[in-house]
Amino acid sequence: MVSLSPRRVVSAVRRRRATTEVVVPAPEQTPEQRRRERRRERRRRLRTMSLTELAEEFGTDKWGVHHYTPHYERHLEHLRRREFTLLEIGVGGYTRRKRSGASLKMWRWFFPRARIVGLDIEDKSFIDQGPIVTYQGDQTDPEVFHRIFAEQGVPMVVVDDGSHVPAHVRATFGIVFPLLPDGAIYCIEDTQTSYWPAWGGQLDPRARGTSMDMVKDLVDGLNHEELLVEGYEPTYTDTHVRAVHCYHNLVVIEKGDNREGTNKDTSSGHFHGSSPDPALAAASNPAASPEASLEETAEEAP
Ligand SMILES: C[S@@+](CC[C@H](N)C(=O)[O-])C[C@H]1O[C@@H](n2cnc3c(N)ncnc32)[C@H](O)[C@@H]1O
């Protein structure tokens, strides 16, 4: 009998296995399985994309023609994993059905747990799918917003990318903003129409009645507690707009309590904001100037 060392036994067994093992080929995938695998792979890819990459993927002009997506990403990142409702006014696509709802699809992948609602003057219901739902209606009609909010929940994010006509933009803001909760973000796109008469804007950048004119009033309202205007009554937006971020053609408005308390010391009649320069103080209030008080003293003297 031949005795083999343990190492030789192991290698002999390995050799035997190698010659007898049958390699079973992986079963052929059906076309349906291949399609499903491709879809799974695409979903995996979409979930890891930045907002800009998603904009490019779906073909919305929020990146490319405009440069909005990095701003949105910065202001909305904290909501990425949250459950909430996002409303975008203006679904887009016009006559190109396949391109319709590009931005809604972008939001849907950026906010995987959100309900994505679109409002458009045209019927866009053919893009409703999964968390995306659209409504047909005019952005200046309060009823349509009451219906959407009752059925889909009050949105935490509103994007106005609708008609861009300043009168519409202002009316929509007036209807929707008071209905939003604290912490909500209200965005207005394409504010350049403020300066374009063909879109209902004005040549004069400081003209009243445009979208940007409304935004500038909101900016003044941030400091409403510091106004020295006698009997000034704060407006709703004075007390409920916490921040206004203006970018090229895009405005992002944060809702929240804007009553921090004034910086002026009203009890003593001394305002921290009053000018330390007597000449400037006199110009803004001649009655309080040192010269005026000297004149008064001289007149009073016997
Ligand atoms: C610029 S497109 C929206 C593009 C889309 N948000 C995107 O980024 O891919 C403007 C859309 O607003 C819609 N629209 C125009 N006037 C409107 C109005 N008064 N009310 C609601 N939607 C309106 C148009 O039908 C069009 O689909």
Tell which one of 91, 125, 127 to mutate to probe ligand 1, the residue whose CB is within 8 A of the most ligand atoms: 91
Q: Which atom of ligand 1 is nearest to the CA of 124?
A: 27
Catalytic-residue membership of 168: no
Write the residue with the smallest CA distance to atom 15 of ligand 1: 163
- Nearest Cα to Cα of residue 118 among 37, 54, 106: 106
> Is the CB of residue 185 less than 8 Å from the CB of residue 253?
yes
Q: For 137-267, where are the E strands, in sequence order?
A: 157-160, 185-189, 241-247, 250-255
Q: What is the pTM of this model?
A: 0.84
pLDDT for position 27: 80
Q: Which of 184, 289, 171 is nearest to 241 (CA)?
A: 184
User: What's the CA angle centered on 111, arms 105 and 115, to 5 degrees?
Assistant: 75
Q: Name residue, tokens 């001289």.
A: 298
Residue-wise pLDDT tens for the chain (302 aa)? 455 676 776 666 566 665 566 777 778 889 999 999 999 999 999 999 999 999 999 999 999 999 999 999 999 999 999 999 999 999 998 766 777 999 999 999 999 999 999 999 999 999 999 999 999 999 999 999 999 999 999 999 999 999 999 999 999 999 999 999 999 999 999 999 999 999 999 999 999 999 999 999 999 999 999 999 999 999 999 999 999 999 999 999 999 999 999 988 766 555 555 565 666 666 665 555 445 444 444 444 43
> Ligand 1, residues 86, 94, 122, 189: which to mutate, most atoms within 8 A of Cβ?
122
CA geometry: angle 40, 71, 201, nearest 5 deg: 120
Q: How far is the CA of 160 from the centre of ligand 1 (A)?
A: 9
| DSSP label of 265 | B
Nearest protein Cα to ligand 1, atom 7: 103
Phi, psi of 241 (to 5 degrees): -105, 120
Q: 54-72: b or e for each residue (b if 16 or more CB lie within 10 Å)?
A: bbbbbbbebbeebebbebb
Regarding the beta carbon of 161 and ligand 1, being less than 6 Å apart is answered: yes
85 lines ligand 1 (CB under 6 A): no
Catalogue all structural domains in the chain, each as residue range(s) with its CATH number.
46-255 (3.40.50.150)
Crossing angle, helix 51-58 and helix 102-110, to 10 degrees? 150
Measured by CA distance, the residue closest to atom 2 of ligand 1 is 92
Looking at residue 298, its pLDDT comes to: 42
With beta carbons less than 8 A apart as the criterion, state whether 205 and 195 touch: yes
- Residue nearest atom 4 of ligand 1, based on CA coordinates: 92
Of the residues 67, 71, 75, 164, which is catalytic? 164
Nearby residues of 69 by Cβ (< 8 Å), 6 or more positions away: 50, 51, 52, 55, 62, 63
Indicate the burial class of 37 (C-beta count within 10 angstroms; 0-12, 13-18, 19 or more): exposed
Strand (E) or helix (H) holding 116: strand 115-120
